[in-house]
Structure formats: C-alpha cells, structure tokens
Amino acid sequence: MGTSFKSKDFLLSDACIASVKIDAHIHLYHEFLYFKSGDASYVEGTGTFRLSPGDVIVTKPHVMHAISFSGETVYSRTFIQMSPHMLSTIPHSLTRFITGRHSANSFIIPAETAEKYGLYRYFKRGAELLADRSEKNIYLAELLFREFALYANEAIEHEQKNASAPENPLITSIKEYLDSNYANALNLDEIGKRFFMSKYSICHLFKAETGITVSDYVSLKRIAAVKHAADESSSLNEIYRLCGFKDYSTFYRTVKKYTGLKPSEFYKLSPKNN
C-alpha cells in the first residue's frame, strides 16, 4: 500500500495498481506524474505518447488526458499535484514553462532529463515525509514541492526545443470544428458528412490519433467552457445551456464524471466565487 496525502494546496499519491483503463479526465491542480513501470501510454489532445520508466508527465489544470495500457503488467507511479495558488506564490519567471499562458498544456520530461535534474528524489522524499503526517513533515513536503517546481521548470525549458511530430491536418481540422461548435448540438453523422467520412471512420480515426473519443473531447471542451464562464460572470443556472449541455441532468453527470465534483462544487472553485 503506497502513500496518499491531500491538503488544500497539494497532494501526493504513490501506488502500484492493475493496468486497467484510466478514462479521459481533468484535474483542478497542476499534475506531475513520475512513471515507474507498466506497459502504458499517455493520451492528451495532441496525441498518444509511449511512456518509459523514469519519464515525468506534467499536465496543466483542466487539460483532458488519460492513461492507456497495452499489456497486463502492473502500473506503478507517483504523482504530485499542486494548486494554481501554490505555484502562483513562486516568482513567475521560475515557473513560466509550467504555468505560463503560452506554456504547453502537457509535457513529458524524458527519463534521462528527469534524472539529470534529480526529479525522482522529490517524489521519493515527498512520499517518505507524508507517510508520517506530522505538522513538521507536511510543512517540509510543501517546501520540497516548491523546490521541485523550479527544477521541473528548468527540465521543461531544456527539452522545449525538441518539438513533437506535427499533428494529422485532418485531425486538426476536426478539432477546430469541434472547438467552434461545442456549444451547439453536435451530431456524428453531420460531422462525418462535413469531412466526407462516415461517422464510424471519423470516430475510429479520431480515437486512433488522439487517444480519446469525439464524445470525450466535446464533453471536456464544454467543461472547460463552464470553468471559463464561472470565472467571468455567469451564474450556474445560466452556464450549462450556454456551454452545450441540453439539460441539467446531462450537465451534472458530465461534470461529476470528469472532475469528480458536483457542478456546485466545481463552480465554487472559481476565484470569483471565493
């Protein structure tokens, strides 16, 4: 049994689990996942990326992602999550590749670079500290994770020059269409006709290229729109229809599925409502 700890500003989970499907989902915090073992790939909007032991995956809040598995081996990982507020207390110049407006939604720091910057020791030491939840150890873990963010930022900066392969232009076009129309009622048959494909072909291609379904992509775009609307001025009762949900029941189920929160709880996380 691994270590698991959660506080207002950060959490840590260290575990070995069965290689079962981890569906597309989002987090409310910045996530740093150290991949130890397993026949796994990381799935994000730009594609599917095979993982190697020692890789560190950095994912921004509200970015849809998933872990897919090709075999039956045990999946072992440690992850740290830090709240936007916690990272905002660090000078922006020291975290800009993690928190900056133009930083990547997600980034995989290769094992060799993670080792070069000593990232694993922060996961290991964090798990050791938080196994004993004393006030002193929790405080030390918070300091440790702040320091970790600085070196993770440097590692991403080091790797930034290694651009990933360009995305399939057809997938880019489909995403652009979904991004522009998520607030409307979307129909797979109509989407297929627009791109001269059957709905079955478009679903297969989209899943193969991105690792998530069209439905997942649209649902998570709508949830991101809910977050944006909550940060602006809309009330919860106005939001769900504006963001493409046909009724409150669908809205409730979708928000709960992808965030683990009730819509009212998700809404209250907006800085405007605190």
Q: What is the DSSP letter of 94?
A: G
The angle at the Cα of 45, spanning 25 to 76, to the nearest 5 degrees, equals 55
- Return the closest-CA partner of residue 270 out of 239, 238, 231: 231
Please list the residue range(s) of the chain that carry CATH number 1.10.10.60: 169-273
Q: For 4-159, CATH number?
A: 2.60.120.280
Q: What is the pLDDT of residue 161?
A: 66
Q: What is the pLDDT of residue 90?
A: 93
Q: What is the pLDDT of residue 272?
A: 56
Q: What is the mean pLDDT of the chain?
A: 86
CATH of 169-273, one of 1.10.3470.10, 1.10.10.60, 2.130.10.30, 3.40.50.300: 1.10.10.60
Backbone conformation region of residue 34, classed left if phi is above 0, alpha if psi is from -120 to 50, else beta: beta
Which residue positions in the chain have pLDDT lower than 50?
none
Please list the residue range(s) of the chain that carry CATH number 2.60.120.280: 4-159
Helix (H) or strand (E) holding 33: strand 30-37
Return the bridge partners of 11, or none. 6, 81
Q: What is the pLDDT of residue 228?
A: 75
Question: How far is residue 180's CA from residue 161's CA, in Å, rounded to a whole number?
Answer: 30
Helix boundaries (H) for the chain: 84-88, 96-99, 111-116, 120-130, 135-159, 169-181, 188-194, 199-210, 214-231, 236-242, 248-259, 263-268
Model confidence pTM above 0.85: no
